[in-house]
């Protein structure tokens, strides 16, 4: 059900975007045709962003274009996949040329940087909603899963946590921080960096992986459940940015780092036997993951320690529940 007097997808997107050589038929037919290598497995991910739920009206259009592809590429990274192609379903309340230009610019920057081609799309009229389905590849049998963690494996995160949650808390006037810090954390909320190269380098090394979209505890919980294990985290090791450490109390910073969503960092586990190889690999990498704990045999249980003492989150802090912009989030308003 296309609307408008011209084709939005062709006008703003396909004709402006670079295409990979392996795209045989792109937008313009009933479906796309891409060439697949028989030595590879196809990894398919999808993510939706809804205005008023995942972003508010003040979010720049370019940031929305960047982020909707970034969150999909982050899922591909968590699977160890190399991005290849994506399709876009765009539901728009109206044809706003300025918004479409900004949005398609953010999307194009990500698409071209990660060499992931737009191969299909559809526009409908309705409340602003954006869905991307992205496709990536891994060598056969090499996809990173949530289910492979074993007791004794080391737990890593790819980068500082909590910045996006801090930006959101300031936006919603739940916290106040200096302007220069706010600008930095807004960059992290609006323009997250999917850890695509790191994810691919973890193939054959990490025993499990996930990307942190809903908060570390919540997403690590998915690994623990799928792998039937527990975890012990040393909160002294949790990587925190300067805006976090300089403008918040330790408790506020830890709460955000553990429970706020939208960071799109990777959380993964490395067996002791692979640690030497892993250390060599990250010695030369742009992203330096940080070891924050260890997997235990204690099914689904997470033990938090600070300065060698047990530490607990205030009750009710369990991770982002996809109501960030609704009044229902009032109960955990201080996070």
Binding site for Mg ion (CB under 5 A): 75, 211
287 annotated ligand binder? no
21 annotated ligand binder? no
Which of residues 163 and 263 has its CB atom nearest to Mg ion in the complex? 263
Minimum distance of Mg ion from residue 220's CB (angstroms)? 12
148 annotated ligand binder? no
Minimum distance of Mg ion from residue 313's CB (angstroms)? 22
Count Cβ neighbours within 10 Å for each residue of 106-125 and write b for 16 or more, e otherwise. bbbebbeebebbbbbbebee
7 annotated ligand binder? no
146 annotated ligand binder? yes
Contact between 185 and 269 (Cβ < 8 Å): no
Which of residues 9 and 164 has its CB atom nearest to Mg ion in the complex? 164
Separation of alpha carbons 89 and 111, rounded Å:
15
Closest C-alpha to 240, from 126, 150, 161, 122: 161
Minimum distance of Mg ion from residue 267's CB (angstroms)? 10
279 annotated ligand binder? no
Instruction: Give phi and psi for 191, each to the nearest 5.
Output: -125, 65
In sequence order, the β-bridge partners of residue 124 are 91
Sheet containing 230-234: which strands, arranged edge to edge? 208-212, 265-270, 154-157, 290-296, 230-234, 302-306, 309-310
Which of residues 75 and 163 has its CB atom nearest to Mg ion in the complex? 75
Which of residues 70 and 175 has its CB atom nearest to Mg ion in the complex? 70
Which of residues 149 and 177 has its CB atom nearest to Mg ion in the complex? 149
54 annotated ligand binder? yes
Contact between 257 and 240 (Cβ < 8 Å): yes
Minimum distance of Mg ion from residue 44's CB (angstroms)? 13
Minimum distance of Mg ion from residue 16's CB (angstroms)? 28
Contact between 171 and 150 (Cβ < 8 Å): no
Binding residues for Mg(2+), as ranges, are 30, 46-47, 75, 122, 211, 214
Annotated binding site: 30, 46-47, 54, 75, 121-122, 146, 211, 213-214, 262, 320
Instruction: Enumerate the known binding-site residues for ATP.
Output: 121-122, 146, 213
From the annotation, which residues make up the binding site for substrate? 54, 262, 320
């Amino acid at each position: 059900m296309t609307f408008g007097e011209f084709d939005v997808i062709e006008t703003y997107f396909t004709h402006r975007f670079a295409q990979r050589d392996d795209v045989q038929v792109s937008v313009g037919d009933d479906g796309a045709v891409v060439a697949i290598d028989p030595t590879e497995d196809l990894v398919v991910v999808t993510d939706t962003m809804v205005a008023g739920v995942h972003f508010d009206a003040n979010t720049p259009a370019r940031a929305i274009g960047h982020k909707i592809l970034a969150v999909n590429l982050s899922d591909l990274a968590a699977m160890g996949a190399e991005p290849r192609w994506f399709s876009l379903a765009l539901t728009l309340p109206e044809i706003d040329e300025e918004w479409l230009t900004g949005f398609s610019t953010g999307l194009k920057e990500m698409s071209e940087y990660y060499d992931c081609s737009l191969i299909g799309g559809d526009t409908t009229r309705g409340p602003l909603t954006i869905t991307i389905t992205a496709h990536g590849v891994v060598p056969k049998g090499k996809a990173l899963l949530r289910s492979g963690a074993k007791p004794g494996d080391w737990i890593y995160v790819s980068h500082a946590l909590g910045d996006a949650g801090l930006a959101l808390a300031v936006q919603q006037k739940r916290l106040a921080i200096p302007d220069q810090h706010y600008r930095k954390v807004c960059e992290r909320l609006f323009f997250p960096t999917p850890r695509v190269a790191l994810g691919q380098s973890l193939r054959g090394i990490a025993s499990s992986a996930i990307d942190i979209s809903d908060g570390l505890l919540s997403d690590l919980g998915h690994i623990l459940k799928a792998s039937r294990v527990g975890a012990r985290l040393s909160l002294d090791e949790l990587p925190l940015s300067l805006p976090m450490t300089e403008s918040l109390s330790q408790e506020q910073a830890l709460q955000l780092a553990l429970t706020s969503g939208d960071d799109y960092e990777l959380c993964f586990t490395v067996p002791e036997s692979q640690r030497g190889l892993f250390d060599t690999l990250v010695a030369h990498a742009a992203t330096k993951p940080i070891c924050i704990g260890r997997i235990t045999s204690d099914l689904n249980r997470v033990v938090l320690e600070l300065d060698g003492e047990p530490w607990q989150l205030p009750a009710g802090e369990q991770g982002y529940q996809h109501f960030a912009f609704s009044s229902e989030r009032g109960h955990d308003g201080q996070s």
